[in-house]
Structures are given as C-alpha cells and as structure tokens.
Chain A
C-alpha cells in the first residue's frame, strides 16, 4: 500500500482511463450488437463500415449530450452564493487552495444545512463552483476545511465531473438501446404474426431475437455499465484525496476532516439527484445503502474507513485508530431561534 500521494494519484489516473474507456467501449459494443441484430452485416458492404459508423454515432452523442448536460443548477441543492463579508474565512481558504493548485477561483456557495458536506460541480475548470454546508463550517477547523476544499478543487482541476458524466451518459445510452431493441423486437414480432407466409416466419424469428437481445443487454449491459460508473467514481474520489494531500502537503488536514465526517451521522436535508455533483461524502440514505450492497461495488465513494486508513498510513499513524482532531471550528453555530421572540430572526 503506497504512502506517496503521487503514486496513488498515478494509479487512479491509470485506473480511470481504463474504466472510462471500458464504459465507452461497452456502449460501442452494444451499438454494434444491435446493428448486427438489424442485419447490418448481411449486406454486401465492407465489414468495417458499421463499427466505424457506430463509433462516430457514439462519439457524436457523447459530445452533444455532454455539452448540453444539466448546467448543475446549484440552486436545486439549496445553495446560495457565499458573500465574502459573511464568509471571509471560507473565501480565503478557497483562494489559498487555488494558489496552491494554480487554478482560477471557482464561484463559492453555501448551503444552510446542519449536515456537514461539500461538493464541486462544473464541466470545465473555468466555469466551476464549490459549495459547503453551514454544518461543515461549524464542524471543521480552518486547517480541516482547507483539506476538504483542496479535495473539491482537485475534482475541478482533474475534470472529474466531466469524466463521470461521460460514463453516466454511456450507461444511460445502453439502457435506452436495450429498450429500443426490445420494443423493436416486439413490433417486428407483432407485425410478422399477421402474415402467414415464410417472410412472416423469419420476421417472427427476428422479432424474438431482438427482444432476447434487448433483455440480454438490459440484464448484463446495464448493470455492467453501472458498475463501471461506480468504479470510475470511486477511483476519482481516491484521486481527489491524493490531490488534497498534494495541495495542502499535509495529510492530517483531509484525514482529520474525514474522521469528523465519519463520526457524524446527520443526513443532508435537501438531497439533489443530479449526478453532476461530486460530494465529499455520499449525501443520501440511498447512497449509504448502496455503500454496503453488493460488497460496495455500486458505491460512488470508497468507504470512509478505507480513505482514512490510506491517509493515516501517509502520516505514519495506526490506520485503525482515530485522532488527533482540531477543536476550534471555523464558525460558531448560531443559537437556535427563540420561538418566544417577537422579532423575526435574520440569518
């Protein structure tokens, strides 16, 4: 097990390339399968034309869908722009990490929520955003916040949102293709059933074959693409942890933050189902359930204990113990609103 953040980063980069290539190749393969079922190779054209056309279609679809993909509507997650007057430490920490990373400062947002979490979003480093919850500011010290921000900036710099979007689009396309094949098979079967000559019988065979193909793609291709997507996401999360260490040059900052997150059980209130967010910790119960199902193969994040163990080894600490953690938080929690008060409480 490597204790060097550069080696971990390099391993995850290689893994990501393989996983992303596998996602796109799976889509291309499925496209070819369907083309074959529709008789693309039974004609007199050269054998390589269909695969090339399918490849062009796949790339074209990915490019167009990628550029159109939901401008991560930050406000859906309840985020408000963080004003520098109200959140000076947050802005300073983000700017410090941007200097360390050599990148331009993304827009900074805050979510009013007691659950500690943070995310980064944006397709290119120049049009990105980073958001934190008020719960996170009340839990972490300046140093630990720097670790979390460095992790999120790592996502932006490494273009993780863009990369995982491609694998999500591939998975979506495979599901659609499975559906198309199945329904086309149903239509062919139905129309051929009306005729009684030999053409009708071969039509019935084609129809059943298409339906079978659709079912196979659905049963094998869709889970496979989801597994690839989850594995890719986990790999990018590990890479982001390594980037956090690279930027802060201090594994303790992100490690201590993750330990505090591990100990906290509050769930974030307004969960967004948008996939274009890279959270520091899985935000929803459904996600948490996924962490344990199938031996964790569908989880988008590696288990917190594993991430913490890797970081503790970097510091030369026992991977199974916890601590030391910082005690002074960036922000003191505001007192709860007094229901007896006549005056409306301003945030």
Chain B
C-alpha cells in the first residue's frame, strides 16, 4: 500500500516538473520570437526607405544633403554587424528621417502626392512597430526572468538552457535627443 502511495507521489511530482519545464520552454521561445519581431520591423523600415527617397527626389531634387543623410544612415543601420553597432545606428537614422519629413513640409506638391503620404504613414507605423516590438520584447523577457528567478521555476531552470535574458535598453547615443536643424 505504501509503495502505491510513493509511486503516486513520484508520478505527480514528475508531472509537475514536466509542466513547469514546458512552461519555461514556451516563455523562452516567446522571448526569441519577440527579438525576431524587432528585426522584422527594422528590416521593414530599411525596405521602405529607398522608395521614400526616390519619391522625394522626384519633387525635391536639390535637397541632396538631407536625402544623402538618410541613405547613408540606412546603410549604416543595415551594415551593422553587432547589436551595439545596430543600436548606435538607430539615432542618426531616426534623426535623418525626421529631417526629411520636416523638409518635405516645404513642398506642397510632394505632400499632396499619394505615394508620399502612403510612405509617410507606413514609416510612421513602422517606427511605432519598432517601439512596440521592443516594448513587447522587454515584457516577454521580464516574464521569463521572473519565472526562472522565482520558486519553483528556479529549480526547473537548472535542467536546461534557461539563462537570464537582457532587457533591451536604449543606447546612450540613441538616448540623446537628435538635433534637428531647419
């Protein structure tokens, strides 16, 4: 009789461990998914920029300086090989795009162009999405870290690759407000 009880307890414990382990796996994968989502939105922005530059060029040919700034900033962002370099490229790109839209205010024909307005909306949306993707990544990371740090997750976490993840933090350079010159 006692043997049956022991077996029952062992089975119940095993089931609990399995459930906890699977939950950790799910949370970790959600963190990876959230990180990938940031990459997707960054790529989306990079893909939208050439179209925007060409549309603006059609109306505002002599705003060469502003257009070139956008192109080179995009190049730097796409060519970044480390997360640190990618974060460093963020600030200049956001600033250059901001300058471009500010400059476009002076060209009513450009502002009326449907293509330009669509691109403006898409880029606004993409900037929002990048922000929300980072926010979601931080939320997912916080949830994961909390689970592996609290009891009983802390015990099960030792059974696999469940290391603590870093939160996405704004780089010092990106935190500096870009200086927009009119």
Contacts and interface: CB of A to CB of B under 8 A. Distances in A.
B125 A99 contact: no
B60 interface: no
Chain A contact surface mostly = helix
Chain B contact surface mostly = helix
Interface string B130-142: 0011011001100
B129 interface: yes
Interface string B114-150: 0000100110010011001101100110000000000
A92 B135 contact: no
A99 B134 CA distance: 9
B125 A97 contact: no
A249 B131 CA distance: 11
A96 interface: yes
A92 B132 contact: no
A99 B121 contact: no
Given A88-B121, A89-B121, A102 B34 contact: yes
A88 B121 CA distance: 8
B66 interface: no
Interface string B34-46: 1001000100000
Contacts of A259: none
Given A96-B128, A102-B33, A102-B139, 14 more contacts: A92-B121, A92-B122, A93-B125, A95-B129, A96-B132, A97-B132, A99-B37, A99-B129, A101-B136, A102-B30, A102-B34, A102-B136, A247-B132, A249-B135
A99 B132 contact: yes
A57 interface: no
Nearest to A89: B121
Contacts of A99: 37, 41, 129, 132-133, 136
How extensive is the interface on chain A, given as a class? 10 to 19
A97 B129 CA distance: 8
Contacts of B41: 99
9 contacts: A92-B122, A96-B132, A99-B41, A99-B129, A99-B132, A102-B33, A102-B136, A102-B139, A102-B140
A173 to B, nearest CB: 32
Interface of A: 88-89, 92-93, 95-97, 99-102, 247, 249
Contacts of B135: 100, 249
Residue from B30, B121, B132 having most chain A Cβ neighbours under 10 A: B132
Given A96-B129, A99-B129, A88 B34 contact: no
A95 B140 CA distance: 18
Nearest to A92: B125
B27 to A, nearest CB: 11
A322 to B, nearest CB: 26
Nearest to B33: A102
Closest 5 A-B residue pairs measured CB to CB? A100-B132, A92-B125, A99-B132, A96-B128, A102-B136
Contacts of B122: 92
Contacts of A96: 125, 128-129, 132
B134 to A, nearest CB: 10
Contacts of B129: 95-96, 99
B17 to A, nearest CB: 26
Contacts of A89: 121
B127 to A, nearest CB: 10
Nearest to B40: A99
Contacts of B132: 96-97, 99-100, 247
Contacts of A88: 118, 121
A247 B135 CA distance: 9
A93 B129 CA distance: 9
Nearest to B128: A96
